[in-house]
Structure 1
Amino acid sequence: MTADGRSRLAAALLAVACAVPEPAPAPPVTGPSGHVQSNLPEATGPIDHAPEDTSPPAPPPASEPPPPPPVAIVDRPITYDEARIARTIAYRQAHQDPAAAGIEIEPRMIILHHTGGGSADATWRYFDRPTIESGRKTIAAAGDLNVSSQFLVDRDGTIFRLMPETSMARHCVGLNHVAIGVENVGDLEDHLLTDAQVAADAALVRHLKARFPAITHLIGHHEYLAMEGHPYFVERDPKYRTRKADPGPEFMAKVRAQVADLGLEGPPVR
């Protein structure tokens, strides 16, 4: 075939290709109500613009309450030698448990007191003596172990630790075996307890509760008789009771207001 013939054949084939009609577009699809529906496939790709999230932010995870601030405690131990230990055990056997063989206690409550005087040094010297003075007839008749407490709070709020918290002190009838005693220097007349002592007692109570979670009660010495009948109260001598006024309702109310969040119980309501 000549070149001229090949050109004419190519032109003819091109004309036939151009004559093939394009397919007609699909008719629109109408729904039951007659509205035109799209016949395009549903989009399966990502949405370009997600709807804005207007829900409130999630709360932060719960956290443990902060630990109580450290309390400044000055160690000023009273004499607690073998002779005093023996007297303490003898007291426990007479008043709490005939089988008692040690001085250790598990603190379950805190009892606040006042000393009846205006000097921390004089109180320390008094507690340092191992035996009770004979002039205190009711107390001396119940045993020769001298009175004491685990803590002494001076009028400026200084806290002295006189003996370990888990060693028994003789400071409250029926409750010595479960109670930590806190003496405050002062009285109800000449040496009224101070705001510094309120703050110090509250801080000490908070500290002791953190150290000894089993503590459930906070009372004043004047409230102790209301504990009679409670499982904590143990006194084998039914005649051995004393009447106390320290540290008084006003002082206790102030301290309790500062530690209300601890949920400590007071004496049972009678």
Structure 2
Amino acid sequence: MPLSIDAWPLPYEERLASRPSSAIDLVVIHCTELPDMAMAREFGERIHYAGTQTGNSGHYYVDRDGKIFRFVADTRVANHTYGYNPRSIGIELVNIGRYPHWGDSRYQAFTVPYTAEQITALRALLAQLRNDHPTLRWIAGHEDLDRRLEPAKDDPTIMLRRRQDPGPLFPWDEVMADSGLERLSPP
């Protein structure tokens, strides 16, 4: 039975650069760090790049109930991970993360676990992507690839990691168990 994915293309999807399936060798796992799918969608629709009239978004979003949405086609380059977009597919898991205190040093802990439904849906999505893109070999968390630091909003003498997703509550062992993918660990 084919995986159920709801196509919900972003208004600017056609303005994103295209690429062949053979260019895709990496999946990046993200946490929305927003409370729900509605806010994730609203953020995805925002224009952040005036020149191209595009924004920041993953390709797929997995809601807490396991429902999967596709915001950007696999053969389009979505803006989700600095330096890795042309080769990767971004998967966002709806989770509150550090919302709304991303830059406050006192609120850096992730406290809400991912749901069993999300992880089951993610594993099925990864299997589908491996089938669709034979060159797909690697998987990483956003935190693995974007290690830039920025000053904390509450105390600029404290440097915080910009990206900490999918975070310490993400069940890597369970996701990797039969994924056929290898963890990418950049230098």
Question: TM range, normalised to the smaller chain?
Answer: 0.7 to 0.9
Please list every run of 5 or more consecutive structure 1 residues that lacks an aligned counterpart in the other structure.
1-68, 89-101, 133-139, 227-241
How far is 1:186 from its partner?
Answer: 0.2
1:210 is displaced (CA, Å) by 0.5
TM-score computed with the length of structure 1 as normaliser: 0.53
Is this contact kept in 2: 1:187–1:246, CA < 8 A? Answer: no
1:128-150 residue CA offsets vs partner (Å, 9 max, x unmatched): 12326xxxxxxx9xx97421111
| Distance of 2:143 and 2:62 partners within structure 1 | 18
Aligned position for 1:248: 167
Match of 1:206 among 101, 104, 127: 127
Aligned Cα root-mean-square deviation (Å): 2.5
Q: Per residue, is there more strand in 1 or in 2?
A: 2
Corresponding pairs, count? 158
Deviation at 1:107, TM superposition (A): 1.3
1:163 aligns to 2:51 (yes or no):
no
Supply the AA of the counterpart residue of 1:198.
I
The CA distance in 2 between the partners of 1:247 and 1:181, in whole Å, is 12
**Pair 1:147–1:269, CA change in 2 (3 A):** closer
Query: In 2 relative to 1, CA 269–108 (structure 1 residues): closer, same or farther, beyond 3 Å?
Result: closer
TM-superposed CA distance for 1:192, in Å, is 3.0
2:97 aligned with 1:195: no
Q: How much does 1:216 deviate?
A: 0.8
Of 100, 104, 107, 2:19 maps to 104
- Structure-2 residue corresponding to 1:114: 31
User: Alignment identity in percent?
Assistant: 29
CA distance in 2, matches of 1:112, 1:156: 17
- Report Cα offsets for 1:215-250 as digits up to 9, x if no partner: 110111111148xxxxxxxxxxxxxxx731101244
Compute the displacement of 1:159 (Å). Answer: 0.3
Q: Give 1:104 deviation, angstroms.
A: 2.3
Counterparts of 1:64-75 in structure 2, within 5 Å, are 69-75=1-7
TM-score, with length taken from structure 2: 0.74
Against the structure 1 CA distance between its residues 162 and 131, is the aligned structure 2 distance closer, same or farther, given a 3 Å change threshold?
A: same
Q: Structure 2 regions of 5+ residues with no counterpart?
A: 98-109, 148-160
Q: Higher RCO, 1 or 2 (CA under 8 Å, sep at least 6)?
A: 2
Is 1:155–1:186's contact at 8 Å kept on the other side of the alignment?
Answer: yes
Greater gyration radius: 1
